[in-house]
A and B are shown apart, each in its own frame.
Chain A
Amino acid sequence: MAQIGSFALLLALALSAYSFLAGLLALAFPRPGSERLGETARRAGIATFALVFLAALVLVICAFSDDFSIAYIFHHSNRDLPIPYKFAVLWSGQEGSLLFWSLLLGAYGLVLRLRHKTDVRLFAHASVIIAAVQIFFLLLLNFAAHPFAIMQGALPADGNGLNPLLQYPEMVIHPPMLYLGYVGFTVPFAFALGALIMKYPGEKWIHITRRWTMVTWGFLTCGVFLGAHWAYSVLGWGGYWGWDPVENASFMPWLTGTAFLHSVMMQEKRGMLKTWNMWLIFTTFGLSIFGTFLTRSGVVSSVHAFAQSSIGTWFVVFLIVIFAVCLVFYILNRSELRSEHKLESLVSRESSFLFNNLLFVIACFTVLWGTLFPILSEWVQNHKITVGPPFFNRVMIPLALLILLLTAVGPLLAWRKTSLASLKRNFLWPSLGALATGVVLVALGFRPWKDISYLYSLVTIMLSVLVALTVISEFVRGGRVIAQKTGQGLFASMVHLTHRNTRRYGGYIVHFGVIVIMIGFAGAAFNQDKEQEMGFGDKMAIGPYTLVCQSYTQEDKPNYGSEWAIINVFKGDKQITTLYPERRFYKASQQTSTMPSVHSTMKEDLYLVYEGQNNDTGRPIIKAHLNPLVTWIWVGVWIMIMGTIVALIPNAVPVRVTAPARVQVAPVSVGD
Chain B
Amino acid sequence: MRRMSNLRRTVSAGVLCLFVIVLMGASDEDARFSQLGHKLMCVCSCNQVLLECNHVGCPYSDRMRGELAASMERGDSDDLVLQSFVQKYGPTVLIAPTTKGFNRLAWIMPYLALVLGLTTVVLIVRAWKMRPLAMPAGGIAPISGAELDHFREQARKDTEV
B161 touches A612 (CB 8 A): no
B103 touches A377 (CB 8 A): yes
Can you report 28 A-B residue pairs in the complex whose CB atoms are below 8 A from each other?
A237-B48, A239-B52, A242-B47, A343-B128, A346-B125, A354-B125, A355-B118, A362-B110, A369-B106, A369-B110, A377-B97, A383-B92, A385-B94, A386-B91, A386-B93, A387-B96, A390-B95, A390-B96, A399-B114, A592-B56, A592-B57, A594-B54, A609-B54, A611-B54, A668-B161, A670-B159, A671-B158, A671-B160
Least distance between B50 CB and chain A CB atoms (Å): 11
A370 touches B106 (CB 8 A): yes
Q: A342-B129, A374-B92, A386-B97 are in contact. List 11 more A-B contacts (CB 8 A).
A: A343-B129, A345-B129, A358-B118, A361-B117, A369-B106, A385-B103, A386-B91, A387-B96, A389-B49, A592-B56, A654-B160
In the complex, B90 has a CB within 8 A of chain A:
yes
B90 touches A383 (CB 8 A): yes
Complex A-B, nearest 8 residue pairs according to Cβ-Cβ distance, in ascending order: A343-B128, A388-B95, A612-B56, A366-B110, A390-B96, A391-B96, A395-B110, A237-B52
For B113, give its contact among A365, A389, A500, A501 (CB under 8 Å). Answer: A365
In the complex, B5 has a CB within 8 A of chain A:
no
B96 touches A388 (CB 8 A): yes
For A269, give its contact among B92, B158, B161 (CB under 8 Å). Answer: B158
The size bracket of the interface on A is 35 or more
Residue of A nearest to B92 (CB): A386
For B157, give its contact among A269, A343, A384, A594 (CB under 8 Å). Answer: A269
Bound: A594/B57 CA distance, A: 13
Least distance between A382 CB and chain B CB atoms (Å): 10
Residues of B within 8 A of A362 (CB): 110, 113-114, 117
In the complex, A53 has a CB within 8 A of chain B:
no
B102 touches A354 (CB 8 A): no
Chain B, 127-161, contact with A by CB distance < 8 Å: what is the 0/1 string? 01101010000000000000000000000011111
Residues of B within 8 A of A612 (CB): 56-57
A366 touches B113 (CB 8 A): yes
A386 touches B111 (CB 8 A): no
In the complex, A301 has a CB within 8 A of chain B:
yes
Residues of B within 8 A of A481 (CB): 161
A238 touches B52 (CB 8 A): yes
Chain B, 100-129, contact with A by CB distance < 8 Å: what is the 0/1 string? 011100110111011001101100110011
Least distance between A554 CB and chain B CB atoms (Å): 14
A351 touches B125 (CB 8 A): yes
Bound: A452/B47 CA distance, A: 25
Chain A, 628-672, contact with B by CB distance < 8 Å: what is the 0/1 string? 000000000000000000000000001000000000001011110
- Residues of A486-520 contacting chain B, CB below 8 A: 497, 500-501
In the complex, A244 has a CB within 8 A of chain B:
yes
Residues of B within 8 A of A617 (CB): none
B109 touches A369 (CB 8 A): yes
Chain A, 325-357, contact with B by CB distance < 8 Å: what is the 0/1 string? 000000000000000001111100001001100
Contact A354:B113 (CB < 8 A) given known A416-B158, A671-B159: no
